[in-house]
Structure 1
Amino acid sequence: MKFFVVLLALAFAAPALGRTMDRCSLAREMSAMGVPRDQLSKWTCIAEHESSFRTGVVGPTNYNGSNDYGIFQINNYYWCQPANGRFSYNECALSCNALLTDDITNSVRCAQKIQRQQGWSAWSTWHFCDGALPSINDCF
């Protein structure tokens, strides 16, 4: 019986593990989604500093009780609906769990919306990425 309970717990935890990308795999996937190539160095820098390129990351609780989700650490108070039903503006009109999957489409589209509305400085780690960045040309 204990084995079954452990197996069941692992089955529920597995989707939250996500995958770990690298700079080039993220740049290639985002490029395939139509993200302009001149933005890819910035996006890969943000993902590196926000989540270490991991898609399944839920950040620690912020001062206001919110959490950040996925490869770009998107906040659940403003951008996605948390599973616990807590209030959210849900500007990206999606579940926060949709930001934790191996398919990064929802994360990319929501991050682009954030960037269009608030600029690059919406990410607290932007100070690491605001300047000369390594080229992503070697990824293609």
Structure 2
Amino acid sequence: MRALLAICVLAVATPAALGCTMDRCSLAREMSSLGVPRDQLSKWTCIAQHESDYRTGVVGPPNSDGSNDYGIFQINDLYWCQPPSGKYSHNGCGLSCNALLTDDITNSVRCAQKVLGEQGWPAWSTWHYCSGALPPIDDCFK
């Protein structure tokens, strides 16, 4: 009986915990509506593709320093958000890492912009995939 109850609880809780999966254009349009400059959108969509495959609810595996990365842009919990474990974080974005895992990507976008402003594009380990010529994003706005 307890096993059945646990399965039912997980079935109800899991969809919200998994977040959503966006695509290149839905991410570009959402970021544009949040004020991200259009000339950055190809880079952001490339990073999201390589970091999370456009999934908002992803928590990456532990990094070599024991930290984890959260959300669609895989933002690091040692520097940018407070992990649910309560372990030490610089928490540069001033938010919970769980706030980066929701379908509403506003917190993820704001925090990613802060990371970009302080560390530049190379803050993302996947940047080498995105630093060259990228497909234009204009087709997402037609």
- TM-score interval (norm. to shorter): over 0.9
1:90 is matched with 91
Residue pairs, 1:1-140, within 5 angstroms: 1=1, 2-140=3-141
Q: Report the TM-score when normalising by structure 1.
A: 0.97
**What is the CA distance between 1:12 and its match in structure 2?**
3.4
Q: CA RMSD in A?
A: 0.9
SS state of the match for residue 126, structure 2?
helix
Distance in 2 (CA, whole Å) between partners of 1:39 and 1:17 is 27
Q: Report the TM-score when normalising by structure 2.
A: 0.96
What are structure 1's unaligned runs of at least 5 residues?
A: none
SS state of the match for residue 124, structure 1?
coil
Distance in 2 (CA, whole Å) between partners of 1:69 and 1:10 is 22
Contact 1:16 1:57 in 2 (8 A): no
**What is the CA distance between 1:11 and its match in structure 2?**
3.0
Q: Which moved more, 1:10-19 or 1:20-29?
A: 10-19
**What is the CA distance between 1:5 and its match in structure 2?**
1.4
* Count of matched residue positions in the alignment of Structure 1 and Structure 2: 140
Distance in 2 (CA, whole Å) between partners of 1:56 and 1:107 is 11
What code does the residue aligned with 2:139 have?
A: D
**What is the CA distance between 1:55 and its match in structure 2?**
0.3
Once superposed, which parts of structure 1, at least 4 consecutive aligned residues long, lie more than 6 Å away? Answer: none
**What is the CA distance between 1:10 and its match in structure 2?**
2.9
Distance in 2 (CA, whole Å) between partners of 1:87 and 1:12 is 27
Identity among equivalent positions (%) equals 71
SS state of the match for residue 7, structure 2?
helix
Distance in 2 (CA, whole Å) between partners of 1:9 and 1:108 is 29
Contact 1:82 1:88 in 2 (8 A): yes
